[in-house]
Amino acid sequence: MENTSSTPGQQPWSQRFESALHPAIARFNASIGFDIALIEYDLTGSQAHVRMLAQTGIVPASEAEQIVAGLEQIRQEYRQGQFQPGVEAEDVHFAVERRLTELVGDVGKKLHTARSRNDQVGTDTRLYLRDQIQQIQARLRQWQQTLLDLAEQNVETLIPGYTHLQRAQPLSLAHHLLAYFEMAQRDWQRLTEIYQRVNVSPLGSGALAGTTFPIDRHYTAELLNFGGVYANSLDGVSDRDFAIEFLCAASLIMVHLSRLSEEVILWASEEFAFVSLKDSCSTGSSIMPQKKNPDVPELVRGKSGRVFGHLQALLVLMKGLPLAYNKDLQEDKEALFDAVNTVQACLEAMTILMAEGLVFRPERLAEAVSTDFSNATDVADYLAARGVPFREAYNIVGQVVKTCLAQSKLLKDLSLSEWQAIHPQFEADIYQAITPQQVVAARNSYGGTGFAQVRNALAAARDLLKI
Ligand code: ARG
């Protein structure tokens, strides 16, 4: 056990206490190790708060100016690596207030008038998340641009399409890539919607019940570019819905990145061999000289789990909390910060991987789409278009596939007389109808893989990114 001092500590609340915190408890209680990430937002939030205090006459304007300048000086010290508070500061809010008072004297002690750390930390977290959402949205746009560029180059490259991971029908590779473009678009939209709810100011809610001072919450909200203010002070200090919503959106981004990762991992395997990985984005094995490993998509797939975990953590954190602030809420930050950092890092790595880290192998893809029965639906459609009821056509083709398999043949290997023995409606144009190119081109329904549809989709995607 470490010794506990019998004299009061250095915290702003220490006068109320007989003795200092046990050093281990001080470390346990402190959030400065991670909430220092909020410092710039804390400074900006405090500057707005003290400007409001001057505007409303709660603090003289000259003193408010000194405080604003002192806070600005702390910003410079922090940026130059000269402000490194330790656990004795407890959290970033106390650390800033203490340094401010060192810099500007007793005037600094007025900063916390009409404010609590409870509305302060809520303000900081929202300012932080607002910024991060914008950065993630910018990364999503780069990600979409990369997918679009790759799709543009691969409209006519064909790739097997799967259901149940069994060959189903061939696709334009561009169509496959644009599916991820669409997912990213929803991810981007979701963040835009969530931003509206993140962008609400709790500042001025006080500890929980508001304040006795004639503050102007709308003024601080305006100074900080918030879209509105919390209408209820209890809700203002204890709501973390915005963080949970963000973690939900972050989780969906990770789901999407992880699904593509899984595909890239399969494609890079010897069994699929649809892509090869460039040296710049893969690693070797310490023992097997022949190996080239898809570490980037594997890590993205792996990291998705921790983001889902943070979402779960915050849901559980919140579900039993009585109103209003509880120290449990300090636990929201590491979850949020790690999710933000993970999503940013994964988007960056996947963008690099898809832009320059893998090469599709056209010869392998062409072989893959022409050596299977993924054109069988088209034979059934051929008969159905000539009046044979689809279910009947389906059964006929099922028998043909069975016979072909027994004879180690593909559909294209059947002679015209064999086709006509199967059904008199078959004519010489059946061969054209079942080439992989035609099979893809024929799926010209809206949103389908037909080349004309894919070109429309590319044009729409290009337009979307131009805005
Ligand atoms: N570090 C604290 C947190 O992150 C700040 C708020 C502290 N409020 C309090 N009433 N102890 O939640």
Does the beta carbon of 325 lie inside 6 Å of ligand 1?
yes
Does the beta carbon of 326 lie inside 6 Å of ligand 1?
no
Residue 281: pLDDT band (50, 70, 90) is confident
Q: Mean pLDDT over residues 197-213, rounded?
A: 98
Does the beta carbon of 329 lie inside 6 Å of ligand 1?
yes
Rounded to the nearest angstrom, the distance between the alpha carbon of 326 and the centre of ligand 1 is 8
- Residue of minimum CA distance from atom 12 in ligand 1: 330
- Annotate 312-328 with three-state secondary structure: HHHHHHHHCCCCCCCHH
Question: How far, in Å, CA of 374 to CA of 439, rounded?
Answer: 9
The per-residue pLDDT for 285 is: 77
Note the pLDDT tens digit of each residue in 292-344: 899 999 999 999 999 999 999 999 999 999 999 999 999 999 999 999 999 99
Q: What is the DSSP letter of 13?
A: T
CATH 2.10.210.10 given to domain 368-466: no
Cis ω for the linkage preceding 324 (within 30 of 0): yes
Does the beta carbon of 95 lie inside 6 Å of ligand 1?
no
Does the beta carbon of 75 lie inside 6 Å of ligand 1?
no
Q: Is the pLDDT of residue 439 over 60?
A: yes
Q: Is 3 helix (H, G, I), strand (E, B) or coil?
A: coil
Please compute, for residue 138, the number of CA atoms within 13 A of its CA located in the half-sphere on the CB side. Answer: 6
Q: Do the beta carbons of residue 279 and residue 212 sit within 8 Å?
A: no
Note the pLDDT tens digit of each residue in 86-124: 999 999 999 999 999 999 999 999 999 999 999 999 999
Instruction: Work out which ligand 1 atom sits closest to the CA atom of 325.
Output: 10
Q: Is the pLDDT of residue 167 over 50?
A: yes
Instruction: Please name which of 396, 369, 348 lies closest in space to residue 138, comparing C-alpha atoms.
Output: 348
Question: How far, in Å, CA of 7 to CA of 15, rounded?
Answer: 10
**What angle, rounded to 10 degrees, do the helices at 117-153 and 39-55 form?**
130
Rounded to the nearest angstrom, the distance between the alpha carbon of 368 and the centre of ligand 1 is 59
Instruction: Work out which ligand 1 atom sits closest to the CA atom of 91.
Output: 1
The per-residue pLDDT for 283 is: 83
Match 């933000």 to its residue by tokens: 340
Note the pLDDT tens digit of each residue in 207-265: 999 999 999 999 999 999 999 999 999 999 999 999 999 999 999 999 999 999 999 99
118-158+172-362 fold = Fumarase C; Chain A, domain 2 (1.20.200)
Instruction: Please name which of 116, 110, 72 lies closest in space to residue 93, comparing C-alpha atoms.
Output: 116
Question: How far, in Å, CA of 351 to CA of 178, rounded?
Answer: 14
Show me where the domains of the chain are located. 14-113, 118-158+172-362, 368-466
The per-residue pLDDT for 5 is: 45
Q: Record the pTM.
A: 0.95
Match 């310490």 to its residue by tokens: 286
Rounded to the nearest angstrom, the distance between the alpha carbon of 118 and the centre of ligand 1 is 6
Q: Is the pLDDT of residue 356 over 70?
A: yes
CATH number of 14-113: 1.10.275.10
Q: Is the pLDDT of residue 1 over 90?
A: no
- Residue of minimum CA distance from atom 3 in ligand 1: 330
Note the pLDDT tens digit of each residue in 37-93: 999 999 999 999 999 999 999 999 999 999 999 999 999 999 999 999 999 999 999
- Residue of minimum CA distance from atom 7 in ligand 1: 117
